[in-house]
Amino acid sequence: MTRRLSVIAALVGALGLVVAFVLWRVPADEFILAPDRAKPLAGKVEVEEARPAGDTSVYYVDVFVRRTSLLEQLFPFTKPDGSTVLPEQALLPPGTSEAERDRQAGRSDPALEEFRWLIEELRVSLFAQELKTPSPVSFKRLAKAWADVQRR
C-alpha cells in the first residue's frame, strides 16, 4: 500500500514538473523588464584631466527585455526581483508585431541574409570542395558584396 502511494506521489510530482516546464516555456502577451546587477562605470569611461573627489563611484544597471512566461503570469512570485511587467502595446506600436519591429530595425535585412549565404558558400568551396557551390565564390566577390551591403 505504501509502495503504491509513493509511486502515485512520484507520478504526480513528475506531472507537476512537466506542467511547470510547459508553463515556463509558453510566452504570454506581456513583456518583462528585468534589471541586471549594478556594475561600476569607472572602468568603462575615462575623463581627461579629471580629479578624483573622494569616493564618488558611479554604477549603471542593464535592463533585459523579454516576454513573460505563462508561469510568471499565473504565479507572480516567480518573476525576478525588481522587474516590471508591461503590456505588449506599451512596447510595440499599434498594428505591428515583433517580427515587423525587427524588420524595421534592420534585423532581417535581405542583403545581409544574401551575404551570409555567400560566406556559407565560401566555406563549402574551401573546406568541402567535392560538394560544389551553385556559383563561383571568392574573397574578392565577398568583399564586393560586403561593400554593396554597406552602401545600402
Domain ranges (residues) in the chain = 14-43+58-104, 110-151
pLDDT of residue 151: 76
Residues 41-53 pLDDT 10s? 766 666 666 666 6
CB 146 within 8 A of CB 131: no
Angle, in degrees to the nearest 10, between helices 139-151 and 110-127: 170
pLDDT of residue 71: 83
Q: How confident is the model at residue 76 (pLDDT cuts 50, 70, 90)?
A: confident
The per-residue DSSP string of the chain comes to -HHHHHHHHHHHHHHHHHHHHHHHHSEEEEEEEEE---EESTTT---TT----SS---EE--EEEEEEEHHHHH-GGGSPTT-EEEEHHHHS-TT--HHHHHHHTTTT-HHHHHHHHHHHHHHHHHH-GGG--SS---HHHHHHHHHHHHH-
Query: Which of residues 23 and 109 earns the better pLDDT score?
Result: 23
- Whole-angstrom Cα distance, residue 60 to residue 42? 10
Closest CA to 26 of 65, 69, 85: 69
pTM of this prediction exceeds 0.85: no
pLDDT of residue 101: 67
